[in-house]
Amino acid sequence: MLSKKAKYALKALLHLTRQHDKGLVIISDIAEKERIPRKFLEAILVDLKTNGVLQSVRGKNGGYYLSKSPGEVSVGNVIRMIDGPLAPIPCVSHLYYRKCDECIDEATCEIRIVMKKVRDATAEILDNTFLSDLETISGLVEEERE
C-alpha cells in the first residue's frame, strides 16, 4: 500500500512539475495548494532533495525546483525513495532481497511465484510512468471537468 508520505511526495512533485519552467516554488505554496501539512512536507522535500530529485535555494526569495526533467523521474523511483521496495515480500525484491526464513525452495514456492508476478506488473507500470505522464493525465482530467 502506498504510504501517505509517498502520496504527498508525488503530489508535491506533480505541483513542481507544473511549475517546472516558472522558477522557484515556496513550501507554503505547495502545502496550501496540495493540502499537505507543512511540517510533513518539509521532511518529504528534504528526502527528495537528498535523493537528487529536488534542489533548493535558501533565503527570502528561495524555494524548491526539480533538479531533473519531469520525464526523467519515474513514479516507481519516487515510491522506492520514500517507502522502500515495491515488492510485496522480500524474496522477490531486486534491491532489498532477503530470503524467507521458512522457505524450503524458492524456485518452487507458489507464494513467491505469484508475488513475483505482482512485483513485475507493479514495477512495469510505476517504472514506466513519469512525472511528465502524471502532468498529462491531470491535464486530461481538467479538460473533462470543463
Taking only the tens place, the pLDDT of each residue in 14-47 is: 999 998 888 899 999 999 999 999 999 999 999 9
Band of the pLDDT at 138, cuts 50, 70, 90?
low
27: its cell numbers: 513550501
pTM for this one? 0.85
Band of the pLDDT at 139, cuts 50, 70, 90?
low
**Residue 11, helix vs strand vs coil:** helix
Q: How buried is 83 (Cβ within 10 angstroms: 0-12 exposed, 13-18 middle, 19+ buried)?
A: middle
4: its cell numbers: 501517505
Could you give the CA distance from residue 1 to residue 12 in angstroms, rounded to a whole number? 19
Residues 6+ apart with CB under 8 A from 123: 76, 86
145: its cell numbers: 471537468
- How many other CB atoms are there within 10 angstroms of residue 10's CB atom? 20
